[in-house]
Structure 1
Amino acid sequence: MTRPEEHGTAPEADPRGDPYLRTRFAVPASPPIFLRRERLLSHLDQALRTPLTMVNGAAGAGKTLLVAGWAEERADTVAWFTAEAADQGPGMFWAYVLQALRAVGVRLPTELGGPADAGRVTRALLARLAAELSGRDGPVVLVVDEYDRVRDPEITEQLEFVLHHAGAGLRLVLVTRTEPLLPLHRYRAAGELTEIRGAELAFTPQEAAELLDAHGLRLPPHAVRALVERTRGWAAGLRLCALAARDSPDPETYLKEFEADRSTVADFLLAEVLKQQPPEVQDLLLRISVLERFCPELADALTQRTDSGPVLAGLHRENAFVEDLGHGWYRLHPLFGEILRAHLRVGAPGLEPELHRRAARWLRRSGFLAETLGHAAAAGDWEFTAGALVDDLAIGQLFTGLRCDDLAELFSRMGPRSDGPATYLVRAARELGRCDLERGLAHLRHAELRLRGDAPAARLSCALLQALAGRLTGAPERVEAAAADAGRLCERVPAELLRKHPELTALLLAHLGSARLWAGRFEDARTALELVAACAGGAATALVREDSLGRLALIDFLDGRPGRAERRARAAIAETERFGLPQPSGSGVGSLVLAAVAIDRDDLAQARALLDAAAESRPALRDPVTEAGRAIVTGRLHLARGDTRAALEAVRPVVHAEAVSPWATGQTALVVAAVHLAEGRPETAAALLHEVPGDQPACVVAAARAHFAAGEPQAALRLLDRARPEGRAGPAVTVRAALVRAQAADEAGDLDAARRLLARALREARRERLRRPFREAGPWLRPYLDTAPLRALAEDWLTPATAPRPGAGPPPVVEELSGRERDVLRRLAQLMSTEEIAADLYVSVNTVKTHLKSAYRKLAVNRRQDAVRRARELGLL
């Protein structure tokens, strides 16, 4: 029998005898609300210059609508054919291809014929088709939509044959969920392939905003960005969310909080993705949905099978919402994961905790501590969770590092029924971290009572917490004993664990250094704190380095060296800023020191702003050093403003500590004595300062000044001569000592000696910009400052502060604003909200808040309006 394809008639029916379905040749119409995406259309235009184009993405990625919109706008001949899984064999495929070409007016000779058998097509027919296309004046574009439904490899081989031999007469566009079996590597190497994949198909925030706007939804940039993040820019998800949100009274809240499993998005993904898979693959997807990321071995642990590797690779190739993270790891699309988890809870109630438990044990064996803790907590297995943290020597992560807040929140869900030593250690750490000493120490005692056998990691964690408790209670001897225990235990734990967790050693040294600082053992404190400041660990030890640098700055300030203290304090603050930790972070000691330096420089507005910043420190680091420091600096600020009553109130509260701190006692006495002096009681001030323990240079100089005010200049000079503070302290002390001696010389009529001493004081103070000592000295020195030699030493730094010139501008910014801080200020001046600034600069809201805090500090302001006004005054805007 002669087959029709050997004759010249074009068949009116397909090889099975059914009429051709015209809808399969129709270019899909765009929906009523459709967003033209110029960047993708421009990319698609390359299809006219390359033989092969592949648009490859997941279900609902917008592939078909993109290509359809592009095809409708092209003046060139575009033939459209939608493949179907029901087609059987090459004969049916090629019959529809030929009909698609004829449907758009491609003149094919009648002798070309068509396939007569649904299961096969002759090579001669394909050769005639290729020859006919190769002779065309211009190319015909053939779009095959849903090409992933074509499973017969013979069809792919035949398509490659025709494409190759048709030459410039054919441009083939494949719209597919999977990568076709064509030799794509050859086309890529030759530059003959145009590709648009899932990442490029994803909507950008700007495109998403335009799409939402077309649906009548106008959302702030941060809300759009959050929706794009949750949907990964998935076209169908965005469109379905927009349609649902239009019916909500509060669209913004709906799009932020909608339950993915109870939406049309769930219906789409379940029907188009999950239900398309075999039952065993559906089971795998449901089980791995509890994981943020997964590898084949972890998936095997959850499914108790051994073939997850090829299944996951296949799902990724099929664009089944399984994303390849590289290095053998995958993750689910966020919305798909949400929906699968909800489906799992309904279909297999009670299975989810067991899956989390299996995941935690596999991750623990594999060394993934952070993920171990999350899954163990989700399983409700708190003994395992706390044990993993303690056994890994990671209990220090509750106090420092990028995850300390997350860990604190995770363990806040731990119930009281868990009573193992590890759970009590974690409870003790949490309570001590919140400065609840009574509960923290009680939990620590329970932990120690339950520790049995050789458990060096747990015992080392105990020693760390004992050191912290000693630091918080102001008990240096307890800290020294705990540190000694820790040193012995460190020799019994694996060295690689200590290297893995540098925060543990850093915290121990920081507690030791702070306790020694409280005890007034400055050199011993420096030894420990400098080791912490120089330690490695990056973000893991950033908070504890910030704290130690701040305390080193405090020691410098107490030694009377404000310049060195300022440099260390700024380095302390930079430690948390450069790692992007949420601000404010750390102990705030650096800000306290900068506030004290600002008071000595008579920049009281800056001091107030810095004190406010220091008040927002972490509770775990609010030990007696910080509490005493805050009280003393606050008292000094009130003194500088002339409010003696507020100064006394500031230092009145007793800092609770087991041991007395000599420097805290001395600095408090300095504030109280200054109040007595200001209120005309110099004898009381002198008596108070003589009672200060130790021979503290700052107190000696203040006592000498009190004696002078009491009419006892010789007693003042004898005190200075005996103590010789000039050889033991820095400029903040020696400048004040020189001023007392200069005033005594002035009182005695020795004007040359007074000028000489005042010149020395000015030279020392100029380097440090110390203005406050000269304001405290009184009016006697003004005539001297009007004389030529001394006027030159005082100009440009002291005179404007002590006697402001009419029309003088605002004081300069202490520290130059960074480029990003200026960017934030410019947007602040445009009345943009924090969220709008974050969206405009493509950074997080927390990052914007960090830049604002830093800018406020540098500009010495507390409010937005003041920041903008000050920046304009300084010519920064």
Structure 2
Amino acid sequence: MAVPDKNGPVPTAPHADPRGDPFPRTQFAMPARPPTFLRRDRLAEHLDEALLTPLTVVGGAAGAGKTMLVADWAAALDGPVAWLTARAADKGCGTFWACLLQALRLAGVAPPIEVDAPAEAGHVDDALLTRLAVELSARDAPVVVVIDEYDRARDPEIADQLESVLRYAGRGMRLVLVTRTEPLLPLHRYRAAGAVTEIRNDELAFTSGEAAALLTLHGLHLPADDVGALVERTRGWAAGLRLSALAAQGEPDPQTYLKEFEADRTTIADFLVAEVLKRQRPETQDLLLRISILERCCPDLANALTERTDAGLILTGLHRENAFVEYLGHAWFRLHPLFGEILRARLRVCAPGLEAELHRRAAHWLRGCGSLDETLGHAAAAGDWECAAGAVVGDLAIGEIFTGLRSDDLSELFSHMGPEPRSPATDLVRAARELARCEVERGLCRLERAAQGLAGKNGPGEDDAPEVAAAQLSRALLEALAARLTGSPARAELAARAAERLRCEVPGRLLDAHPELTALLLTHLGATRLWAGRFGDARAALTTVVDSRRAASTAQAREECLGHLALIDYLQGWPDRAERKARAAVMTGDRRGCPLEPGPGLGYLVLAAVAVDRDELDRAQAFLDAAADASHPMPDPVVQAGRAIVTGRVLLARGETQAALEAVERTVVADVASPWAEAHTASVAAAAHLAEGRPETAAKLLEEEPGHEPLCLVGAAQAELAAGRPGPAVALLDRVRPQGRPGPAVTVRAALVRAQAAGASGDFATQRRLVAQALREARRERLRRPFHEAGPWLRPLLGTVPLSALAEGWLTPGPPSPGCPARPGERSPLPVVEELSGRERDVLRRLAEMMSTEQIAADLCVSVNTVKTHLKSAYRKLAVNRRHDAVHRARELGLL
């Protein structure tokens, strides 16, 4: 508090300024702190530095808490404090200094008798100021002079005089300026000398912890997330927090109110309109109303909305004045969120219908200079769908409808687009959305109409040639997707060739910015080549995507390609390779919400197929169920055929032959038949007929399939043997070798059929040699199913030496074989899809101790939701669905 000066009695103070007007008492009184005032120690400690520097500036927006902060700090000081609220500073420098001298007198600091009040309102004698400075410099202890609302002192002469007194007063005065704007003082010199203490708007903002404490003072107790959201919306603005809290006190549900209140319908609006908006010139108010539709703006964009040329100066001035305009850097600004809400509401009232036009102008300006997201938002708000679709197509961003990163946002945005307008760009966007939902016929119609529209724009000398090329390239991507969904390899190849020609006509920066377009196109091309049975060509396209740079936008394409590469390995008889790639696809495909997601579904299908070959049927079913959850309800023919074949194999392995036949008889609609799909389908059907004792039917089924498919040849040979015709069986097997290098899943089955044929002809030595060869190849891949399918003739042989040693530990009970550890009488533990993390193991250990989810959370000091997340991940990795199964499986694997 202010104390009397120690240098002598205080003379009687004059009671009027140079104009004869009495001094209002409130002009010299420290504001009283309200009961809900929150003392913030970090700011008070910073203000303590004001006692060490001649100048302190506390600058911030209206309602930032500047005055209360300084008043609370000053009230706790031991020395004299002169407080002046500079409301009369605009009445002349004489009046200003008369008020300041009066504040000093009231603080107990008596100027010498010769330092009398200025006689004129607009003038002050330099000698008076010099004598005042000399008197202050002679003081033993400094006087703290606080000038509140210093932003009203706009006269440069006052600033010069105040700086002169401050300089000559030396250690005798500590000046504290509380202001909304940058004071007209040479701050650069004070900063260079380390002679100024500054507290700015950002530092005045409440932290989440301080906001929670403030709300508590108002009787409000909110969860931390709600407090954080309120701080984000108010940007920690003190007045906004206090006014919100006061309003919420009268609400039946304060928590919901603070989440959902409309700023323009609160006292916050009254405060900001009176204290900020109406203080501005008319042209500035107009600019603020117009830019309120923007998330951020730069001078050029603001000029486009106002049709003026001075936005840069206005925005810079508003920022310097702390008028709720924040500077983002690189010439970009944004309005305070609450101020923006209030301005938008006033815009709708003051200028009905203008908002849509402003959004349209912003969209067209941003399409050339801004981000795609901002362009789309404003175009949609204006209902300008040609601009929105043109931005997506022209920016080569149409692939983002399929990548999963922004597909939901784009789908939601364009769901509001009606049947009009019709342009190549809008047709392409509609086609993309329909193909993403696998509405192929409608998508193809849109593509055809887009092609017709683009055909009319291909004339020479077109100014929009890059945009036309971008549209044609976007169309090529959609053509490739349509080819994939319809099983049309020729159409995909045409699209790929068109895309290759168009790449050189599109700006390289767009291709670099959207790697997902090329990745998706190659994915679709690889999938159609796979469908056609061109495994080498398919592998080349798919591998290019997998080996591409790890951009977030290509993650789904890489995952899909891994799934397709895994399927190729499986179809060629290499289960171990297939499993590794399928695991990688599954591990990178843990996403939700993608519109076209055959990647992880295909990965799970391959894992299920490999599990069948290893006779791990429960695990195969778990993977099959996971594939059903992961895949789109209408996937491409590759996934449809793969699901039917794997389902049939699982059912067949369980002895459900009729169900297996029904599974593979489901029609896969495609423009072109797939040789491998037909071969594997026929193989499952033939195996079902063989199991039911109909070898002739099985042989007839396989005769109709292409003669170069190894799987069909082996199956046909098995059917011939079952029909008692070993000669034709061996002849069929002889045709397997010339077809490249089939993997062990094929060669093991072929060796077993040859062994059976050798035994039928009495060549038992050859039979044993071939069985031994099959066991050695199968053990590396843990292939058990071929031995179970071989028939009863094999069982006695597996009990003989040395075949029993080759089968023990992985195929038959017995001591574990090297590299294949297993306990006697048990199968070797099944591998997990992915290694468990340390925290997942911690959760499993407590699960084994019969602890509940809540108990595990408490024991590990984490939330219940975190425990559930770890459990879900562990279940997936262990291929189980229940707690008991997870514990049992973990024990099998030695994890517990």
TM-score (norm 1): 0.83
Match of residue 597 from structure 2: 587
Q: Name which of 816, 822, 833 aligns with 1:799.
A: 822
Inter-CA distance 346–406: structure 2 relative to 1 (3 Å threshold): same
Contact 1:599 1:772 in 2 (8 A): no
Q: Does 1:261 find its partner at 2:274? A: no
Q: Which runs of 5+ in 1 are unaligned?
A: 1-6, 833-839
The one-letter amino acid paired with 2:338 is L
1:61 is paired with a residue whose SS is: coil
Inter-CA distance 706–485: structure 2 relative to 1 (3 Å threshold): same
1:179 is paired with a residue whose SS is: coil
Contact 1:589 1:614 in 2 (8 A): no
Inter-CA distance 165–708: structure 2 relative to 1 (3 Å threshold): farther
Inter-CA distance 644–788: structure 2 relative to 1 (3 Å threshold): closer
1:174 is paired with a residue whose SS is: strand
TM-aligned CA deviation for residue 414 of structure 1: 1.2
Match of residue 835 from structure 2: 816
Which one has more relative contact order, counting CA pairs under 8 Å at least 6 apart? 1
The one-letter amino acid paired with 2:238 is A
Match of residue 836 from structure 1: none
Q: Does 1:272 find its partner at 2:291? A: no
Q: How does 1:712-723 map to 2 (within 5 A)?
A: 719-723=732-736
Q: Does 1:663 find its partner at 2:682? A: no
Q: Does 1:476 find its partner at 2:489? A: yes
Q: Which has the greater radius of gyration?
A: 2
The one-letter amino acid paired with 1:803 is E
2:403 is paired with a residue whose SS is: coil
The one-letter amino acid paired with 1:207 is E
Match of residue 3 from structure 1: none
Q: Does 1:377 find its partner at 2:396? A: no
Inter-CA distance 203–593: structure 2 relative to 1 (3 Å threshold): same
Inter-CA distance 592–499: structure 2 relative to 1 (3 Å threshold): closer
Q: Name which of 576, 579, 600 aligns with 2:610.
A: 600
Match of residue 429 from structure 1: 432
Determine what percentage of the aligned residue pairs are the same residue.
66
1:816 is paired with a residue whose SS is: coil
TM-aligned CA deviation for residue 519 of structure 1: 1.0
TM-aligned CA deviation for residue 416 of structure 1: 1.3
Match of residue 295 from structure 2: 292
Match of residue 4 from structure 1: none
Match of residue 515 from structure 1: 528
Inter-CA distance 154–437: structure 2 relative to 1 (3 Å threshold): same
Q: How does 1:469-508 map to 2 (within 5 A)?
A: 469-490=482-503, 497-499=510-512, 501-508=514-521
TM-aligned CA deviation for residue 358 of structure 1: 1.8
Match of residue 697 from structure 1: 710
TM-aligned CA deviation for residue 775 of structure 1: 6.8
Which stretch shows the higher mean deviation, 445-454 or 611-620? Answer: 611-620
Inter-CA distance 453–853: structure 2 relative to 1 (3 Å threshold): farther
- Output the CA distance in 1 between the equivalents of 2:361 and 2:593: 37
Contact 2:90 2:155 in 1 (8 A): no
TM-aligned CA deviation for residue 378 of structure 1: 2.1
Which stretch shows the higher mean deviation, 594-603 or 773-782? Answer: 773-782
Inter-CA distance 448–89: structure 2 relative to 1 (3 Å threshold): same
Deviations 1:764-807 (A, max 9, x none): 556556566677678938757974995476467463698269xx
Contact 2:583 2:603 in 1 (8 A): no
The one-letter amino acid paired with 1:465 is L
The one-letter amino acid paired with 1:468 is L
TM-aligned CA deviation for residue 166 of structure 1: 3.8
Alignment size in residue pairs: 853
- Output the CA distance in 2 between the equivalents of 1:202 and 1:744: 86
Q: Name which of 15, 20, 37 aligns with 1:17.
A: 20
Q: How does 1:610-689 map to 2 (within 5 A)?
A: 611=624, 614-615=627-628, 622-637=635-650, 647=660, 650-673=663-686, 675-676=688-689, 688-689=701-702
- Output the CA distance in 2 between the equivalents of 1:822 and 1:67: 55
Inter-CA distance 536–874: structure 2 relative to 1 (3 Å threshold): closer
2:279 is paired with a residue whose SS is: coil
Contact 1:432 1:620 in 2 (8 A): no
Which stretch shows the higher mean deviation, 462-471 or 595-604? Answer: 595-604
- Output the CA distance in 1 between the equivalents of 2:662 and 2:823: 31
Inter-CA distance 637–235: structure 2 relative to 1 (3 Å threshold): farther
Deviations 1:706-759 (A, max 9, x none): 667778888766654542499623344445555666788999999998887677
- Output the CA distance in 2 between the equivalents of 1:385 and 1:285: 25
TM-aligned CA deviation for residue 435 of structure 1: 0.9
Q: Name which of 226, 230, 238 aligns with 1:227.
A: 230
Match of residue 4 from structure 2: none
Q: Does 1:360 find its partner at 2:363? A: yes
The one-letter amino acid paired with 1:600 is V
Q: Which runs of 5+ in 2 are unaligned?
A: 1-9, 459-467, 810-814, 855-861
TM-aligned CA deviation for residue 400 of structure 1: 3.2
TM-aligned CA deviation for residue 636 of structure 1: 4.2
Deviations 1:270-294 (A, max 9, x none): 2222112111101011111122221
- Output the CA distance in 1 between the equivalents of 2:507 and 2:115: 79
Q: How does 1:109-258 map to 2 (within 5 A)?
A: 112-258=115-261
TM-aligned CA deviation for residue 521 of structure 1: 0.9
Which stretch shows the higher mean deviation, 275-284 or 786-795? Answer: 786-795
- Output the CA distance in 2 between the equivalents of 1:37 and 1:755: 88
TM-aligned CA deviation for residue 557 of structure 1: 2.7
TM-aligned CA deviation for residue 821 of structure 1: 8.2
Contact 1:588 1:616 in 2 (8 A): no
Match of residue 528 from structure 1: 541
- Output the CA distance in 1 between the equivalents of 2:325 and 2:310: 16
1:81 is paired with a residue whose SS is: strand
The one-letter amino acid paired with 2:484 is R
The one-letter amino acid paired with 1:23 is T
The one-letter amino acid paired with 1:432 is L
- Output the CA distance in 1 between the equivalents of 2:436 and 2:655: 37
The one-letter amino acid paired with 1:265 is I
- Output the CA distance in 1 between the equivalents of 2:617 and 2:112: 94
Contact 1:549 1:571 in 2 (8 A): yes
Match of residue 82 from structure 1: 85
1:11 is paired with a residue whose SS is: coil
TM-aligned CA deviation for residue 484 of structure 1: 3.4
Deviations 1:420-449 (A, max 9, x none): 333222222221221112222222233334
Contact 2:596 2:632 in 1 (8 A): no
Contact 2:401 2:407 in 1 (8 A): yes
The one-letter amino acid paired with 1:597 is L
1:799 is paired with a residue whose SS is: coil
Contact 1:294 1:330 in 2 (8 A): yes
- Output the CA distance in 1 between the equivalents of 2:891 and 2:221: 33
Contact 1:698 1:733 in 2 (8 A): yes
- Output the CA distance in 1 between the equivalents of 2:37 and 2:620: 57
TM-aligned CA deviation for residue 855 of structure 1: 5.7
Contact 2:733 2:750 in 1 (8 A): yes
- Output the CA distance in 1 between the equivalents of 2:677 and 2:342: 59
Deviations 1:315-338 (A, max 9, x none): 111111212111111122222222
- Output the CA distance in 1 between the equivalents of 2:890 and 2:27: 65
Match of residue 837 from structure 1: none
Q: How does 1:544-563 map to 2 (within 5 A)?
A: 544-563=557-576
- Output the CA distance in 1 between the equivalents of 2:336 and 2:639: 47
Contact 1:821 1:851 in 2 (8 A): yes
- Output the CA distance in 2 between the equivalents of 1:425 and 1:671: 41
The one-letter amino acid paired with 1:509 is L
TM-score (norm 2): 0.82
Contact 2:403 2:553 in 1 (8 A): yes
TM-aligned CA deviation for residue 393 of structure 1: 4.1
TM-aligned CA deviation for residue 84 of structure 1: 1.9
- Output the CA distance in 1 between the equivalents of 2:502 and 2:638: 28
Which stretch shows the higher mean deviation, 847-856 or 379-388? Answer: 847-856
Deviations 1:252-303 (A, max 9, x none): 4433333222222222222222112111101011111122221111111111
- Output the CA distance in 1 between the equivalents of 2:72 and 2:789: 79
The one-letter amino acid paired with 1:514 is A
- Output the CA distance in 1 between the equivalents of 2:490 and 2:755: 44
Inter-CA distance 30–8: structure 2 relative to 1 (3 Å threshold): closer
Q: Does 1:397 find its partner at 2:400? A: yes
Inter-CA distance 850–363: structure 2 relative to 1 (3 Å threshold): farther
TM-aligned CA deviation for residue 129 of structure 1: 4.0
Contact 1:595 1:606 in 2 (8 A): no
- Output the CA distance in 2 between the equivalents of 1:438 and 1:357: 33
Inter-CA distance 528–814: structure 2 relative to 1 (3 Å threshold): closer
The one-letter amino acid paired with 2:567 is L
